[in-house]
Amino acid sequence: MDNKHLFNRKRLKPLRSYLRNKSTSAEAVLWNQLKSKNLGGRKFRRQQSIGNYIVDFYCQSEKLIIELDGDPHGDSIQIQKDITRDKYLEALGFTVLRFENRFVFQEPEIVLNEIRKGFRKEIKF
């Protein structure tokens, strides 16, 4: 599948916009750390669609996806959906990092360090 049909499908645009405008508090806090190339000079996007999925944060240069999970992700049905989704994205060559919302508030430096570990290449300034 070529990139033209993989990213930001038009039919998902209203949902992407809605999710950006109604982000969770954890997403808003992490976005402040990721936006404007604040983390290691990498550009991140919010609510990017890849295939039929919309991911919380995406760094194209690193093929890195960051997902924040709240309470609904703790039940067995949602856990299985997340596993299926992650396998699909990983099969396309993406790395998926998942964090519980509470860690964004309780251990922000650990979250940021784990994201940095997901960077594949060094950026020269």
Instruction: Provide the CATH number for the domain around residue 66.
Output: 3.40.960.10
Sheet holding 95-100, edge to edge: 45-50, 53-59, 64-69, 95-100
pLDDT for the residue numbered 123: 62
Distance CA(77)–CA(47), nearest Å, equals: 22
The number of residues in the chain equals: 125
Distance CA(102)–CA(58), nearest Å, equals: 20
Query: What's this model's pTM, rounded to 2 decimal places?
Result: 0.89
Per the structure, the count of domains in the chain is 1
pLDDT for the residue numbered 74: 65
15-36 residue pLDDT tens: 999 999 999 999 999 999 999 9
Give the H or E element holding residue 16: helix 13-21
Residue 111 domain-assigned?
yes
Residue 63 domain-assigned?
yes
Q: Residue 105: what are its φ and ψ, rounded to 5°?
A: -90, -40
Residue 125 domain-assigned?
no
Kindly report which listed range (5-14, 36-45, 77-86, 116-125) carries the lowest average pLDDT score. 116-125
Residue 123 domain-assigned?
no
Mean pLDDT value of segment 61-78: 86
pLDDT for the residue numbered 71: 73
